[in-house]
Structure 1
């Protein structure tokens, strides 16, 4: 028998793995303006979590409180098992972060800037610094431009150097705030590859991004913020399935299927793949039963997967707090 897990932990045999980061009732007020409002966030260990939200939704403020860069007005923050900000000295050596763009000396080269960052890295000895810097530059595709002054870098190159500074040593937790900002498609693919490598190595990654396609391609989990509130969080696949309200039926008798369903007052329409059925007022078993009764040959039935862009729009298009309860109908219980 397995011991019952605490909320927010992942069972592994008889042991549990706590989240890499979590907040409870997190709130931040700036001069009467609420930036973050009672956020309960959990970043599962080993996950790649995408943090999504419109501009001003509280994403960066939440990240800064996670890292101990901003003191919460109220609430609790735990990072790698340590209470923040008091436990920063113990937690932060295991964390690499790129927040709100990199800040480097404009008159130093990319390599010299990175050498200065590495000199302050507690997990590197002096002898290890040159190799660590060279490997980080190579990893983000900047080895060829390492000798150029930072002020001559493009926006994308500056972003790459910031990413290199976060990856100077192996990390348990990596936080990337808009990591593909200013990157061309090739650079974006490289960042995607870096995130995949981190995930494969067991590193937890938190990515704040406005590029929904990149989040859908790289993340295992998602948290959606809106007006300082977390309106949804959980496994990406589960959230996308929860947002599905359509059923795709594959049949050679499309017209017969549509007529039969409409006769039973079920909204349906023909699509290139077959028949698309609206499940708002019915269920998948009832749809299949209606088709079978009408003698329609059914070759395949599957839920039409919702894209992240559609789900994001549904979660954030209405910002009234009173309407957040209505959003619960879109989500599984563990994502509410």
Structure 2
């Protein structure tokens, strides 16, 4: 299974049918002048998944999200949102999509509640008589009920993020798109956002989260897509990608030297580890490693696969780029178009 196809394969049903997608792109490309911001991105967002979109500065995450929501027209390629092709199907699909992209924008001299009431008035799926209740529920859900009377201009960055999240949650959504939702939040606020995402997932909504916090993605997401220099370098179920990257066996033994000698005699690559040896499963497998050790009389207390973390996987996927490319022209463009 390759990284680029793992999402489709792992999300397929037992019968082998094609998974239902909440959003998809094919050959998506965006060019600003001579700068290629997004280059032929094929992205699958399975229905009911929590997909984390990862990427360093200039990877094209925000541009991809903009095109997915119909905020930016692609130079080339196709976008499908909740089964509707954009831009023609935008009016049908977008009412079922909640989004917090690049930080919220509200009237500074209105209170949080007043701003949210204005946003609710434009919700096509929200009846007039239900607006007040929906606003209060959303404020409570993001922990802003106690500060709803305060003017927006006096809100901290974290409170502004919470209000933007509340606006995205005014009505039940089929798809929620959150661009850096924990930006500016303290640890307690971050935990609350994590709970909101978990609740949305439990209710059957699809969530797309763009974040640079790998720990948050690993804690909340079922799927991941890694973007680098405008292209998708890996996507699929998070657990599958991490398992696929595990190519080592950790063997716990009190006889480290004897284990190394036996493995090296069998032309098996190994090196000392914390409480034993780490064996690279290249040209061999776990049963062969254990057979070699047992036949050599080496006691084996435990053997387990080395678990790759998301940070390690992300670094491996992006390490090929030059270290001096910290900020590309894409970032400058995205900042300038906000």
- The structure-2 alpha-carbon separation of the partners of 1:289 and 1:13, relative to structure 1 and needing over 3 Å to count, comes to closer
- Return the TM-score normalized by structure 1: 0.89
Runs of 4+ with deviation above 4 angstroms: 6-9, 12-17
Which residue pairs with 1:327 in the alignment?
none
- Structure 1 CA distance for aligned equivalents of residues 309 and 110 of structure 2: 44
- Structure 2 CA distance for aligned equivalents of residues 13 and 162 of structure 1: 40
Are 1:293 and 2:259 an aligned pair? no
Are 1:250 and 2:252 an aligned pair? yes
- What secondary structure sits across from 2:172 in the alignment? coil
Deviation per CA, 1:49-87, whole angstroms, max 9, x where unpaired? Answer: 000001110001001111111100010000000001110
Work out the number of aligned pairs and report it. 315
- Structure 1 CA distance for aligned equivalents of residues 111 and 160 of structure 2: 11
- Return the TM-score normalized by structure 2: 0.88
Which residue pairs with 1:136 in the alignment?
138
Which residue pairs with 1:333 in the alignment?
none
Which residue pairs with 1:332 in the alignment?
none
- What secondary structure sits across from 1:124 in the alignment? coil
Alignment of 1:63-142 (within 5 A): 63-142=65-144
- Structure 1 CA distance for aligned equivalents of residues 21 and 10 of structure 2: 7
- Structure 2 CA distance for aligned equivalents of residues 204 and 12 of structure 1: 21
Q: Do 1:18 and 1:81's aligned partners in 2 also have CA atoms closer than 8 Å? A: no
Aligned alpha-carbon RMSD (Å): 1.9
Which residue pairs with 2:268 in the alignment?
266
Unaligned runs of 5+ in 2: 1-7, 323-338
- The structure-2 alpha-carbon separation of the partners of 1:142 and 1:59, relative to structure 1 and needing over 3 Å to count, comes to same
* Larger RCO (alpha carbons 8 Å, 6+ apart): 2
Deviation per CA, 1:83-123, whole angstroms, max 9, x where unpaired? Answer: 01110100011100000000001111000000000000011
Deviation per CA, 1:215-240, whole angstroms, max 9, x where unpaired? Answer: 00000000000000000000001111
- Structure 1 CA distance for aligned equivalents of residues 9 and 282 of structure 2: 32
Which residue pairs with 2:220 in the alignment?
218
